[in-house]
């Protein structure tokens, strides 16, 4: 792979703004009642979809360090096929996936309606913001080709 511009080093002020957004997101997730360990799984799932090795590694470690069971981590790509996630978590994962894959059908009404049936407005907004922020990080890491291994 060719060397790429490191976006954080090229524009540190912009990178710091994304970091500040991440900090604000953490506060918002907490006020919305989104469990920290589950938020790592959400970040991991978006990173898997985006094929961001750097963020996938980071959020797998964060999830493990946060006490997430390896069973939940290992079946995350196939979460629809398991009983490892409850209704709220499945609605959250579906919403995150739709936002991550937004160019493929936008956010379908059935996904949003499922989220509304399982989550409060504040929880939905928190999942949506988490989706926006992790997708931003994925794009920074992928574009800059952050090294893994």
pLDDT tens per residue across all 149 residues of the chain: 678 889 999 999 999 999 999 999 999 999 999 999 999 999 999 999 999 999 999 999 999 999 999 999 999 999 999 999 999 999 999 999 999 999 898 999 999 999 999 999 999 999 999 999 999 999 999 999 888 87
For residues 89 and 38, is the Cβ–Cβ distance under 8 A? Answer: yes
* pLDDT for the residue numbered 112: 97
| pTM score above 0.85 | yes
The encoded tokens of residue 130 equal: 């988490």
Fold classified for 8-144? AhpD-like (1.20.1290)
For residues 49 and 79, is the Cβ–Cβ distance under 8 A? Answer: no
Cα 15 to Cα 73: distance, rounded to the nearest angstrom: 29
**35 exposure class (CB count in 10 Å sphere: 0-12, 13-18, 19+):** middle
The encoded tokens of residue 14 equal: 């912009």
Where exactly are the structural domains of the chain?
A: 8-144
* pLDDT for the residue numbered 1: 62
CA dihedral 24, 30, 35, 37 (to 10 degrees): 40
* pLDDT for the residue numbered 20: 98
* pLDDT for the residue numbered 2: 74
């Amino acid at each position: 792979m060719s060397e790429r511009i490191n976006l954080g080093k090229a524009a540190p002020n912009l990178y710091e703004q994304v970091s500040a957004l991440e900090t604000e997101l953490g506060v918002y997730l907490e006020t919305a009642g989104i469990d920290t360990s589950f938020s790592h799984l959400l970040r991991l799932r978006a990173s898997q979809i985006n094929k961001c090795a750097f963020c996938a590694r980071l959020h797998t470690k964060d999830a493990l360090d946060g006490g997430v069971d390896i069973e939940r981590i290992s079946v995350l790509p196939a979460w629809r096929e398991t009983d490892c996630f409850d209704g709220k978590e499945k609605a959250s994962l579906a919403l995150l996936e739709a936002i991550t894959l937004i160019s493929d059908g936008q956010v379908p009404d059935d996904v949003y309606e499922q989220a509304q049936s399982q989550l409060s407005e504040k929880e939905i907004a928190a999942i949506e913001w988490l989706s926006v922020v992790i997708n931003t990080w994925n794009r920074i890491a992928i574009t800059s080709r952050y090294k893994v291994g």
